[in-house]
Amino acid sequence: MKLKKILEELNYSSFTGDMSVNITGIACDSRKVQEGYLFVCIDGIDEDGHAYIEKAKENGAICVVVSKEVINPFDNVIMVEDGRLALSSIASIFYDHPSKKLKLVGVTGTKGKTTIAMMIKTMLDCDHKEASLSGTLGMFIGDEHIPTKNTTPNALDLQTFFYNSLKKGIHYSVMEVASIALKQKRVENMDFDIGIYTNLAKTHIGKREHEDFNDYLVSKAQLFTKCKTGIFNMDDLYYLEMIKNSTCELITYSYRNTNAGVYARNVVKDGVYTHFTYIGLGREINVTSSLPGSFNVLNALAAITACVLLDVSNEAIIEGLLLTRVKGRCEVLETETPYKVMIDYAHNQSSLLKLLSEIKEGVKGKVITVFGCGGDRDNDMRYEMGEIAGNLSDFTVITSDNPRTEQPESIIAMIEEGMRRTEGNYICITDRTEAIRYAMENAEADDLVILAGKGHEIYIEKNNIRTHYDEREIVAEILEEQKK
């Protein structure tokens, strides 16, 4: 693409150089630059892209986008006010605005994004409307899986993802939209047909993300100035704040409130399955979810509503919801044991409280919870999670999670202090594998062993080193040992 074409659509302060040069690609990481590339400097939290201008030139870049005056070796220099916003614009222009050619669904909120996104994709696929997906578990385009570092990748990676989806004949796409991505303008220049709001909890507050809760809320709410239709959880405490400045058409959903546009009726919990009737938008559908809990009824209501708007058939909705499996989210393993083993990403107070309070109702036997808390995080969370587990589990095994730079034993001691505020039965086992082994060896028929905290993660992080650790493999190895 000629640089002139990019400049015609880009909002920039000044340009020096030759507009007729041909741009062969875009990069915001100097290591990814190839011959003929345009390099966009991002002034980030940890590093400033302006420091890598010479490296980008060495690797073949012919044009640079800067947001501050620097000494650089380029003939072609574009000055902009905001490098992140420029990257989003340039990437969209370069790939010919691919999101305009897709039916794009964005899901935001503290909890539920991954599950809802996977539900929507599965239902679309069942209706022969193949969808790509981007989120916590990575990017999925057909049979291709691309691992990602962030829940919502940078604007360049996203626009490339949309472009490659279209190249494969995929015209539907679902993505998780993180608050930090909205704040950092990663999803600017994207045309969302549908936006979904799940819920909001006081998390992600700190120097690297949001300075306070209001900043977190305001960042999330930006999605609903970018989409045509917004689907909102009416049961959430911050629902009214979230819709206050929205510019989209509003649809509400609720677990039981019949004043909402969409709601559930006849909810029946049966072990790890939940049956209910979806009511809304002119449809009444009897469905079964393989994911337990009232919170997953809410997730399903949001997902089904998006699919109704995308004209998915009732049959595909029923089939897709039953087939949906989400790695690390209420993931029940195939163990062939008289008890069940579930892996879930519940790693903070709100998620553990929600999981245990909901799951307990449908379990015939005991709930045995194995969990720890991450290092270099809020200490209060440890006491509170210990108290939650003590009150809601029949038995708890307190263990290590990602200790990072802390000693696992000190984290466990804080969790134990919270546990002591309850009458809950527990044991402390620092080694996570031994903790899982203990829980499985002491589980009986109809019990549910919950491995909480790791979810989709397949590593343990200690002293800034990540070591491979997949709880699915650990459970399989323990079961194999027990056969001998």
The answer to whether domain 3-94 has CATH 3.30.70.3420 is no
The pLDDT of 229-253, averaged and rounded, is 97
Q: Say whether pLDDT at 205 is over 70.
A: no
The fold of 98-323 is UDP-N-acetylmuramoyl-L-alanine:D-glutamate ligase (3.40.1190)
pLDDT band at residue 70 using 50, 70 and 90 as cut-offs: confident
Which residues, in sequence order, are CB contacts of 138 under 8 Å at separation 6+?
145, 146, 147, 148
Which residues, in sequence order, are CB contacts of 331 under 8 Å at separation 6+?
325, 342, 343, 344, 455
The pLDDT of 399-428, averaged and rounded, is 97
**DSSP of 455-482:** TT--EEEETTEEEE--HHHHHHHHHHHH
**291-313 per-position pLDDT tens digit:** 988 899 999 999 999 999 999 99
The pLDDT of 58-72, averaged and rounded, is 93
Task: Place domain 331-483 in its CATH homologous superfamily.
Answer: Mur ligase, C-terminal domain (3.90.190.20)
Place of tokens 């691309």: 146
**The pLDDT value given to residue 206:** 66
**How many whole angstroms separate alpha carbon 172 and alpha carbon 6?**
26
Average predicted confidence (pLDDT) for the chain? 95
**The pLDDT value given to residue 436:** 98
**Cα atoms in the Cβ-side hemisphere of radius 13 Å centred on 71:** 0
**316-371 per-position pLDDT tens digit:** 999 999 999 999 999 999 899 999 999 999 999 988 998 999 888 778 999 999 99
Q: Say whether pLDDT at 90 is over 90.
A: yes
**How many whole angstroms separate alpha carbon 288 and alpha carbon 270?**
10
**225-234 per-position pLDDT tens digit:** 999 999 999 9
Q: Say whether pLDDT at 207 is over 70.
A: no
Q: Say whether pLDDT at 71 is over 90.
A: no
What percentage of the chain carries pLDDT values higher than 70? 99
**The pLDDT value given to residue 253:** 98
**The pLDDT value given to residue 45:** 78
Domain range summary for the chain, segments of one domain joined by +: 3-94, 98-323, 331-483
Question: Tokens in use for 381?
Answer: 């969370």
40: left (phi over 0), alpha (psi -120 to 50) or beta: beta
Same CATH topology for 98-323 and 331-483: the answer is: no
Helices (H), 145-254: 155-167, 179-183, 213-221, 239-243
